[in-house]
Amino acid sequence: MLNYLSKFILLLLFSTFLLSCTGSSDTKTIRLAHSLNTSHPVHLGIMRMAELTEEYSEGKLEIKVFPNQQLGTEREALELLQIGSIGMTKVSTAAIENFVPEFRVYSLPYLFRDDEHVRTVLQGEIGKELLLAGEEYWLRGLTYYDAGKRSFYTKDKPILTPDDLDGLKIRVMESQMSMSMVRSLSGSPTPISFGELYTALQQGVVDGAENNPPSYFSSRHYEVAKYYSLDEHLMIPDLLLISTLQWQKLTPQEQQWIQSAADSSARYQFQVWAESEKESLAEVEASGVEVFYPDKEPFMEMTAPIYDQFKTSEPDFYQLIQRIREAGNE
């Protein structure tokens, strides 16, 4: 606990120092921290947003991006955002569910039918409602970025049926829903920071993990876990956030510039993601990774009970699930 607090205090002091360092007096600078490397398609979307913000504002607003966990993990970035020590961040919606419970819905296995269903929800009424669900926690959503479909990759054997997960230690995000999913498939969920995962795989701390093709490739996890089983159990979007404290300091014109830049960057990023997904799979296969396409039905059957628990325990949450399932069927 002491180490965590010490690290948090150092991050707070460092980010506060950064906030005091501005460029010209005519430019307002907002710091954005995230955990991905600079080749990742989500980082490219973020950079597009930063470029458009500067363009729309004619240099009056600058978004300075700190990738690669320079200012901490996703959870630490969220905490810094809440107290206003950084202005913006990008996290997986799985990371924010511990702060804003409504976002748990995106971590439900096999919630979405296909890519079109995802877009219908994220770009429609439901998606917009959830973007603002965290305002009371000082976390305001601006837009979603495509984070594709998450599948299992492992060191010693492929995952072809749920039985293959029995007893395996699988790295998951710090998400209760993700942990429930792995448990329902008889695996042992092990939350580990994404930045520490390569070493954890290499040293045998975990037997495998789950993620989308671009993250699997750009993180070089394929070097130590060469079995990739595309069961596509989750389609969890990434979320671009701004601190409500930061948002309230902006003029209506500045808010419009940032929101417009975020919306435009999301359209750009969805295109970049589709290209990156194909390229990433081709690259890992060329490196010797074995890619498998297991039957999804057994995985869907074993994870179905996760939904049933909410019928009586959390009826409002279950109603949100049903709204998402029915979206696009009108």
| Mean pLDDT confidence for 26-37 | 93
On the 0-12 / 13-18 / 19+ scale of CB atoms within 10 A, 183 is middle
| Mean pLDDT confidence for 13-30 | 59
For residue 174, the model assigns a pLDDT of 84
- C-alpha span between 127 and 150 (Å, rounded): 20
Rounded to the nearest 5 degrees, what angle is found at the Cα of 32, between the Cα atoms of 82 and 193? Answer: 75
Residue ranges and CATH numbers for the domains of the chain are 9-147+236-278 (3.40.190.170), 150-235+286-326 (3.40.190.170)
Segment 130-149, tens digit of pLDDT: 999 999 999 999 999 999 99
Segment 270-319, tens digit of pLDDT: 999 999 999 999 999 999 999 999 999 999 999 999 999 999 999 999 99
Mean pLDDT of all residues in the chain?
92
Assess whether pLDDT exceeds 50 at residue 18. no
For residue 45, the model assigns a pLDDT of 97
Kindly give, in sequence order, each residue whose CB lies less than 8 Å from that of residue 290, ignoring residues fewer than 6 positions away. 158, 226, 227, 228
For residue 25, the model assigns a pLDDT of 60
Reported confidence tier of residue 23, pLDDT bands at 50, 70, 90: very low
Assess whether pLDDT exceeds 70 at residue 21. no
- C-alpha span between 227 and 207 (Å, rounded): 11
For residue 330, the model assigns a pLDDT of 64
Assess whether pLDDT exceeds 80 at residue 183. yes
Reported confidence tier of residue 17, pLDDT bands at 50, 70, 90: very low
Assess whether pLDDT exceeds 80 at residue 22. no
Assess whether pLDDT exceeds 80 at residue 46. yes
235 vs 3: which has the higher pLDDT? 235
**Contact yes or no for 17/47 (Cβ under 8 A):** no
* pTM of the predicted structure, to 2 decimals: 0.86
Assess whether pLDDT exceeds 70 at residue 9. no
On the 0-12 / 13-18 / 19+ scale of CB atoms within 10 A, 23 is exposed
Q: Could you identify the residue written with the tokens 């956030």?
A: 241
- C-alpha span between 129 and 141 (Å, rounded): 10
Segment 68-96, tens digit of pLDDT: 999 999 999 999 999 999 999 999 998 99
